[in-house]
Structure formats: structure tokens, C-alpha cells
Amino acid sequence: MNILRRSLVRSRAREASHEVEPTAIEDATTSTKASGSFYFWTRPGTSKEEAKLVQKLDFAILTFCCLTFFAKDLDRNNINNAYISGMKEDLGLYGNELNWMITWFQIGYIVGQIPSQILLTKISPRWYLPAAEFLWSIFVLFLYKCRSAEQIYALRFCVGFIEAASWPGLHFMIGTWYRNHEINKRSGIFTASGIAATMFSGYIQAGVYETMDGHLGIRGWRWLFIIDFLITFPMVVVGLVLIPNPLYEKGTWWMSEKERAMCIKRLEADNRQPLGRFDRSLFKRVLGRWRFWILCTWFSLMYFVYQQPTTSTMALWLKADGYSVRDANNLPTVYSAISIVFMLLSGAYNDWRGSQIESVVLICLTQIVSESMLVAWNLGKPALFFAFYIAGTIQSLFPIIVSWTHTVCTADAEERAIVIGSLNSIGLAQGTWWNQVFVPTVEAPRFYRGYRAGLAASLALSAWLPVVVWFTRRQEKQERTNKHPVVEGVAPHEANETGGSAEKHNAGVAEIQDKADETGIVM
């Protein structure tokens, strides 16, 4: 049987690489097994050829993901910075207009998530993502011409609808090209790029306010949206050049056929399945399994906590307390800096440990402490600064939950795409009404109800972790018992079709191990 399995693997590699000899792939990926020593970037025992391939993936995929997400979050946070830097006074926004600007963006973002993920499974990301980038940059540019809150509402909806292609689509692309032990770190870096935009948004707005306010007759807060456009538009070209073609369909100019075959084998070692059938059975596959319900609930609880405190609520406190426009823009960036540092460290730690549990526990503890201090409130300025800043760890939970999703949904690519889109869509929908009910702008800076609700959500988030762990371990136990990935909610004959053609499937755990032994890819 082992000989037969090895022959089958070689024939698949030859077909995937257009007749590249299997022995070339084996020589290129020969390595020893990984040790238990700590590593930051590449697992010990990874061959030079595989390490070079991963570097190429990082340069192309991770670079585009980070640059485009930086631009997206720059605009998302600039609406808050613009509000406290002259927009409020210029447009006469003395009610809950800021909340509605955020809400209309979120409505468009929510509505567009799942349709965008469906399109991403049908249209090559190399064309789909740059096209979305182009449309997004045009709508952002139009914001600088707005003269009323209603015009901003309409454009923010359009910006949100187009931006729905970004976060879930880019995360799905990362999960399509990287292995399980590489995803935590890279998802963290990708998410951190958006947080960095939060920091730079404050610095840029402070600089624009001081140097460009009134230049060419345009107020400083309006220049910010023009700058967003100038940063984003070149990303269209970058995407067309760097985003790879679908792995199982055709080659990419910066990747050799040998490297493409190596990519396929790397993903097969984790049983990461390619796109297969997209039909009515997909809804049964998604809704009939625990992953959609348990993970979306987890993400929603995280979004409840994430609504308060944020850089926005902190900026409103600073402005109400008499801080200058510059300080109100810059001081909240420490929150973002803490988020980035914790995200990068936890991502490296999680990949090394092969577990995210310890990081999630620490995040939950910091949120409970932060929310408790903000509920008490009258603790003095140093204590409030501390409470706002440590709350930044909550953003590290975004890449953790998505990485968890990639791992447990690895055997069904369509399910993985829909669940990732659903996480953000459903979570953001929950956060939208939560923000309107518990964190209205008119209750700034105290947010009496908001911080109490945030404390309750932090406790609920902590209590949900054992639920997620139990379902995950039950699935792992079933996979070990059955010797093949568990496909719940689908008849056996349907399960064989959910991951694509027979040429692209693994026969089970035994075959995966054979492939790993044969190629030297580190499991």
C-alpha cells in the first residue's frame, strides 16, 4: 500500500507541475524533522528551497495584503480624526453624526462580505482584488468634496461595500497559500498593518492640520481623504503585478513550476483542500457543522468588547479633557502600538507552540482589567491612560480567530471562505447595533453604559473559550479515530466531492504522512 500511495503522490505532483520530475521536488524540499526549539520565522529543518519559496510568498502576497490593508484602515480611522480636526465645526455636526458615518460604512461592509467571498471563489483574486481597490480609491476621493452629513453617509456606505472584498478576501488568500504553522504570524502581521494605519492616521492628520489647513482653499481634514486616494491608487498596479494566479489553475510569473508543485505539496501536508464544488450543498455544509455557529459567536463576543474602549473613545475623552488637537490625535496611537507589539509576539509564539489558547487567556484577562478600571473611572489620569492602552490587546484576537478558522476548516475551501466572511459580517453587525446602543457619541467621554456592557462582554468572551476548545478537540479526536478529516453534516458520497477533483484530494492522514516523509516537508 505504501508503494501505491507514493506512486499516486508522484503522479499528482507531475500533473500539477506540468511534467516537472517528482525527484526534483523531493530534492528541493528534503529536510529533517522540526525540533522543539523556538523559531521566529521558519521552522527548524525547513530546506533552503522551501524557505526561498516562503520568502517569495511573503514578498508577493504578504506585501500586497499589508499595503492595501494599511490604506483601508487609514481611511477608516481618518473619519474619526477628521471629525475632531474641523469636520464637526465646518459641517455643524453636533449630534450623533459621527456614529452614523461609522454605521453607514459598517452597513455597506456587512452587506458586501459574503457576496464578495462568493465572487472570490469564482473570479481570480489577481483581477478581483485590484478592481475592488480601484473603485474603493475613487469613492474615498469623493469624500473630500462633501458638504453635508448625508453626502458622507452615502459615500461611506459605498466605501464599506467595496471594502468588504478586503479583510476576508485577503485573509482567505493567506490561508490558501500558507501552512497552519505559518498562518498565525502572517495573519498577525497583516492585521498589524491596519493597526499601524491607525497610528499613522493620527500623525498624518496632526501634520496635515498644521501644514496644509487652508492650502488651495481646502481645509486640513479634507486633504486627508485626498492623501488616502494618492496612497491607495498605486495599489491597483501592485496587485496586478504581485497577486498570484489560482494555484491549481495556472502558473504565476514570479513562481517556477517546481515551486508551484512544492506549494501544492505543502498544502496537502496540512490537508488544505483546493476550491471544489460551489452549489446548494455548500449551505448544508456550512450551516450543518459546528464551525459556523461556534466561531461566529466567538467573533461576535470579541466585537462587543472591541467597541469600547478604542482609539476613538480615547480621543473623545482627551478632547473633552482639554487636550490639544495634536495630542488628541497622537496619544491614542500608543493603544495601537501596544496592539502591534502584542500581535506580533503572540503570532510568533502561537506558531511555535501550535496553540493559541495561552494568548487568548491573556487577552481576556487584560480586557477584564481594562473595562473594570473604566467602569470605576475616577481613578486619576494615569490609571485611565493605562486602562485605555492595555485594551489594545483585544485586536490580537482578530488574527487568532481567523487562524483557528483556517485550521478547523482546512478540508473544505468553500466553507473556509464563507465562514471567514461570515465571521466579519456577523461580528460587525453585532458591533454596529452595540455601538449605537451602548457607545453613542453624546455620552462621551464617560460612556457610563458602554464600559459596563464592555465588562460583561469581556467575561462572556472568557467563558466562551472553553466551548471553542471543546469542539475543536472533539473534531481532532474524530479525525484521529477515523483516520481522515471529519466532514460533518454531509453524506459520505458528498464529502468526497466538497474539496474538488480526485486528483486534488488526500486519501487520509496516512497518505499525508507519506507525502511529508517523501518530500521532506516539515509537518
Q: Tell me how far apart the terminal alpha carbons of the chain are, to the nearest angstrom.
A: 21
Indicate whether 367 pLDDT > 90: yes
Q: What is the pLDDT of residue 465?
A: 97
Q: How does pLDDT run across 180-237, given as a tens digit for each residue? A: 989 999 999 999 988 888 777 767 767 777 788 888 888 888 888 898 898 888 999 9
Q: What is the pLDDT of residue 2?
A: 43
- How far is residue 127's CA from residue 109's CA, in Å, rounded to a whole number? 20
Residue 67's nearest CA partner among 184, 209, 238 is 238
Q: How does pLDDT run across 26-35, given as a tens digit for each residue? A: 444 433 344 4
Indicate whether 13 pLDDT > 90: no
Indicate whether 324 pLDDT > 70: yes
- How far is residue 310's CA from residue 431's CA, in Å, rounded to a whole number? 13
Q: What is the pLDDT of residue 20?
A: 44
Q: What is the pLDDT of residue 108?
A: 93
Cis peptide before 125 (omega within 30 of 0): no
Q: What is the pLDDT of residue 65?
A: 94
- How far is residue 115's CA from residue 164's CA, in Å, rounded to a whole number? 9
- How far is residue 412's CA from residue 210's CA, in Å, rounded to a whole number? 52
Q: How does pLDDT run across 135-168, given as a tens digit for each residue? A: 999 999 999 999 999 999 999 999 999 999 999 9
Question: Where does residue 2 rank: exposed (0-12), middle (13-18), buried (19+ CB within 10 A)?
Answer: exposed
Which long-range contacts does 127-131 make (Cβ < 8 Å, 24+ apart)?
127/240, 128/165, 128/169, 129/64, 129/68, 129/165, 129/166, 129/169, 129/170, 129/173, 129/239, 129/243, 130/235, 130/236, 130/237, 130/239, 130/240, 130/243
Work out the average pLDDT over 312-322. Answer: 90
Q: What is the pLDDT of residue 36?
A: 58
Indicate whether 500 pLDDT > 50: no
Residue by residue, DSSP assigns 121-165 as HHS-HHHHHHHHHHHHHHHHHHGGG--SHHHHHHHHHHHHHHHTT
Question: Where does residue 88 rank: exposed (0-12), middle (13-18), buried (19+ CB within 10 A)?
Answer: middle
- How far is residue 397's CA from residue 109's CA, in Å, rounded to a whole number? 20
Residue with cell 516537472: 20
Work out the average pLDDT over 498-503. Answer: 41
Residue by residue, DSSP assigns 418-466 as HHHHHHHHHHHHHHHHHHHHH--GGGTTT-HHHHHHHHHHHHHHHHHHH
- Cell digits for 182? 505559518
Hey, what amino acid is at 245?
N
Q: What is the pLDDT of residue 422?
A: 94
- How far is residue 127's CA from residue 98's CA, in Å, rounded to a whole number? 34
Q: How does pLDDT run across 70-125, given as a tens digit for each residue? A: 888 877 777 877 887 788 888 988 888 888 898 899 889 999 998 999 898 888 99
Task: Identify the band that residue 521 occupies on the pLDDT scale cut at 50, 70 and 90.
Answer: low
Backbone angles phi, psi at 219, to 5 degrees: -65, 155
Poorest-confidence range of 239-243, 342-346, 380-384, 490-494?
490-494
Work out the average pLDDT over 488-516. Answer: 43
Residue 508 CB neighbour total at 10 angstroms:
15
Indicate the average pLDDT of the chain: 83
Distance from chain centroid for Cα 503: 30
Work out the average pLDDT over 346-371. Answer: 94
Residue 437's nearest CA partner among 427, 450, 451, 455 is 450
